[in-house]
Chain A
Amino acid sequence: MAGHAVEHDYHLIPPSPWPFLSGCACLIWGLGMVTFFTGLVQRTGDSPMLEFFFARGLDTIQGREGAGGGWIILAFGCAFAAYVMFAWWRDVIREAEAGDHTPVVEIGLRYGMIMFIMQEAMFFVGWFWMFFEAGLFNKARAKWDTSILTNAPAYADSIAPGITAINPWHLPLMNTLILLLSGTTVTWAHHALIHNDRKAAKWGLGLTVGLGIFFTFLQVIEYAEAYAHRESGAPWLSTDIYGSTFFLATGFHGLHVLIGTIFLAVCLGLVLKGKFRPEKHFGFEAAAWYWHFVDVVWLFLFAFVYIIFGFSI
């Protein structure tokens, strides 16, 4: 174990401010979340300044009168976090270009990405577990005690008061096709990259990002529809268990689509700047893996949440 100079290919990183700053961002974000959803102070009117920032931000969304800037902290937290992530990943890209990502380091990155996707998968397992439990045993539960369950709904009769379940063969089917198509385009881009066909790579990636954005756009329309057609004054998120699972499961999936799209967009930017080599482009592969994962989750959502349970009645 003699020898002084570094003689291994592992990547030792000099001190970095980003993790610590991420912590700070997370703290502000958390404070913002609580302020936004619950509020730290009641709106009594005797300390306007405080209440403007720390009274419940949700009121603003729900258009209550007197609603203040309860969303500001949250917004700031998100912006802060976004900046830190940007800076962090910029460092990573620079290191990659500096050649720090030796073969062994790259294998490590692959392990890391696989593990990350595994934990994402377990996250959705949680949602589907909730969904199936409610879906399969809901009617049984409704029968237990009508005196307590006055308005136990037949499952998936409505995703929100006044709206019957969304017809899977309209927007949702569209979205399915979009995602499947984007799956192929990203693979096309990958092969192009391997064969050093930059032009095709640009097209493939560009299309994928576009499709991703289009998907999000359609999801937004779908939610907007659901929101617009609900009885006025009804709870704004949902009334029953199907609505709850529907909105949060698809919602979290939507969030992941967004993340995936940004990830791909970054890669597109790099390709346009002439980065990535045929033999070495793990950043791109990671994005592709993630995109396929998001795709698969959607197929499950489509099959079960939309068709089998949503459309059975």
Chain B
Amino acid sequence: MAAIGADEGYGHDDKPAFFARWFYSTNHKDIGTLYLIFAIFSGIIGGFLSFAMRAELAQPGIQIFHDLHTYNVFVSMHGLIMIFFMVMPAVIGGFGNWFVPLMIGAPDMAFPRMNNLSFWLLPVALICLIISFFVQGSASGNGFGGGWVMYPPLSTIGSPGPSFDFIIIGLLAAGFSSIFGAINFITTILNMRAPGMTIHKMPLFAWSVLVTAFLLLLALPVLAAALFMLMGDRVEGGTGFFDPARGGDPEMFQHLFWFFGHPEVYIMILPAFGIVSHVVSTFSKKPIFGYLGMAYAMVAIGVVGFVVWAHHMYTVGMDVNLKAYFLAATLVIAVPTGVKIFSWLATMWGGSISFSIPMQWALAFIFLFVIGGVTGVVLANAGIDTALHDTYYVVAHFHYVLSMGAVFGIFCGFTYWFGKMFGVLYNKYLAALHFWTFFVGVNIIFFPQHFLGMQGMPRRYVDYPEEFALYNEISSWGAALTGVSVIFFFVWVIEALIVRRKAPDNYWGEYANTLEWTLSSPPPYHQFNTLPVYKDEDHH
């Protein structure tokens, strides 16, 4: 095993030279690594912004953002960067690129060159967003402060400066990056599976990426159209899509945005589902329970996810019957999601669980995602949502599914595949330190925010009445702890990269039985020059 790759195809020695390898890359593993580095970089920026916000909110009164506008800019940028430049690149671009081809036994992605285009559009997009920080936004200052949802009129007449134009360009670039990525993944998965691997024997992570890719393919173009409309409205003497004085309707943007926006949230969580499935199975030493149910639950989530968007718009003055429909449709999603949760539990049931680092992340993921999910169900009830909409209850909800769902999924995959990707093992005590501080930290940040929300504290507030002081202070302390924890993350990564304990091919044992574990760690520059023949031992 270990021998293979040493001198096949492009062996280790005839890897392209540094510049060609990292800038002109057509290798899915290198591109995946680029994505991961990019995601970590964005994570630092997005994290920094959020910590600044928490510092501001630590107590009533204005601490940092004396011009008020900059706070809104931070909030908006935090949301955009975390979603488009941290989570998506990490789970889809990073892990997807690295492990979809390996898991399905393919030598590379279907369109290696387009794959690299998908990546290079992202730095371009991020540069645009960073520029937008420093150029005229609204009359009140630099940067765009209209929230990550970019509702007009705040994003049209509300911010006339070039700042928001840069954000439009940036999001268009990021959007097309994801669209090309989606085309690539769909083609790869449908067309390049190893002989014998039928779609129903495909590992669940590949399934999750397949569903995610379809969501991207169908949701993002609508966002692109909406962004072009904003562009047109911003041009002087331009269009009037969202301008009531010209027969337009600001609310129409919200429909277009959320038609993309809701699938987007499942785009962020589905790959995490896939990762967690493998981790749970590996460390319970059992095959995944109810494989087909798991796969089709994700399909169901994807499909239903397209018809629930207006649950973000319960208070805009929609017709009550429409609200009733979206209420019912939204509740439906709880069912397939429940199937996944319980299937994970059933996979562990009767297993022989070893609590290694990835498993700890996975267990925490399951529990915290359930909390975030059920608060989502509360919000889905349009009646209750009138009390909770645009309060910190919503903030708490989506951080439980994002900052604890998606991000825990990311760390879970990162700790699971670290040795496979970089060929070195990490110190599990340092990694555990990172896990526990992060786990405690984020819960301290976001659990009290439920109470703030029910007491009525609105979102996107730079300053709040003394009545909200206590929980805000607790939350900010939690943020401080989380900040320290992010440092621990870098500590264990750097330690592992410096000490270089060689990772064996399969360091998790026989139950890590997807194809990537049959290769060396790290895998040869070009794997599967002879396609593996997939014999079914009911392992998914």
**Which A residues have a C-beta under 8 Å from some C-beta of B?**
1-8, 10, 12-20, 22-24, 26-27, 30, 33-34, 37-40, 58, 62, 88, 104, 107-108, 111-112, 115-116, 118-127, 129-130, 133-134, 137-138, 141-142, 148-153, 155, 235-245, 247-248, 252
8 closest Cβ pairs, A-B complex: A126-B225, A23-B120, A244-B239, A235-B237, A15-B24, A30-B169, A19-B116, A241-B247
B9: CB under 8 A from chain A?
yes
B8:A4 contact, CB within 8 angstroms: yes
B21:A15 contact, CB within 8 angstroms: yes
Which of B91-99, B375-383, B527-535 faces chain A?
B527-535
A10:B106 contact, CB within 8 angstroms: yes
B461: CB under 8 A from chain A?
no
Cα A120 to Cα B179 with chains together (Å): 10
> Interface majority SS on B: helix, strand, loop or mixed?
helix
A239:B240 contact, CB within 8 angstroms: yes
Q: Which of A23, A33, A243 contacts B123 (CB 8 A)?
A: A23
Pull 8 A–B residue pairs with CB atoms less than 8 Å apart, ordered by A: A1-B528, A5-B9, A16-B24, A19-B24, A112-B184, A142-B247, A237-B235, A248-B239
Q: A141 contacts which chain B residues (CB < 8 A)?
A: 244, 247, 249
B11-24 vs A: 1/0 string, CB under 8 Å?
A: 00000100011011
B24:A3 contact, CB within 8 angstroms: no
A27:B124 contact, CB within 8 angstroms: yes
**Which B residues have a C-beta under 8 Å from some C-beta of A?**
1, 4, 7-9, 16, 20-21, 23-26, 106-108, 110-114, 116-117, 119-121, 123-124, 127-128, 135, 160-162, 165-166, 169-170, 173, 179, 182-184, 186-188, 190-192, 217-222, 224-226, 228-229, 231-232, 234-241, 244-249, 252, 255-256, 259, 518, 526, 528-532
**Minimum C-beta distance from A221 to chain B (A):** 22
Q: B182 contacts which chain A residues (CB < 8 A)?
A: 115, 119
A2:B530 contact, CB within 8 angstroms: yes
A235:B26 contact, CB within 8 angstroms: no
Q: A137 contacts which chain B residues (CB < 8 A)?
A: 249
User: If A12-B112, A244-B232 touch, does A23 touch B124 (CB 8 Å cutoff)?
Assistant: yes
B222:A126 contact, CB within 8 angstroms: yes
Cα A239 to Cα B169 with chains together (Å): 25
Give me 17 other A-B pairs in contact (C-beta within 8 A), A15-B21, A115-B187 excluded. A3-B530, A6-B107, A6-B526, A8-B530, A10-B108, A30-B173, A34-B169, A39-B162, A107-B191, A111-B187, A112-B184, A122-B219, A130-B225, A130-B252, A138-B247, A241-B241, A241-B247
Cα A12 to Cα B109 with chains together (Å): 9
Cα A153 to Cα B114 with chains together (Å): 46
Q: B526 contacts which chain A residues (CB < 8 A)?
A: 6, 12
B183:A115 contact, CB within 8 angstroms: yes
Cα A13 to Cα B219 with chains together (Å): 30
Q: B162 contacts which chain A residues (CB < 8 A)?
A: 34, 38-40
Residue of A nearest to B172 (CB): A30
Cα A245 to Cα B532 with chains together (Å): 53
> Interface majority SS on A: helix, strand, loop or mixed?
helix
**Minimum C-beta distance from B527 to chain A (A):** 9
B239:A126 contact, CB within 8 angstroms: no
Q: B119 contacts which chain A residues (CB < 8 A)?
A: 19
Q: Which of B23, B107, B161, B222 contacts A38 (CB 8 A)?
A: B161
B24:A134 contact, CB within 8 angstroms: no
B8:A17 contact, CB within 8 angstroms: no
Cα A17 to Cα B518 with chains together (Å): 32
User: If A7-B529, A37-B165 touch, does A122 touch B252 (CB 8 Å cutoff)?
Assistant: no
**Minimum C-beta distance from A116 to chain B (A):** 6
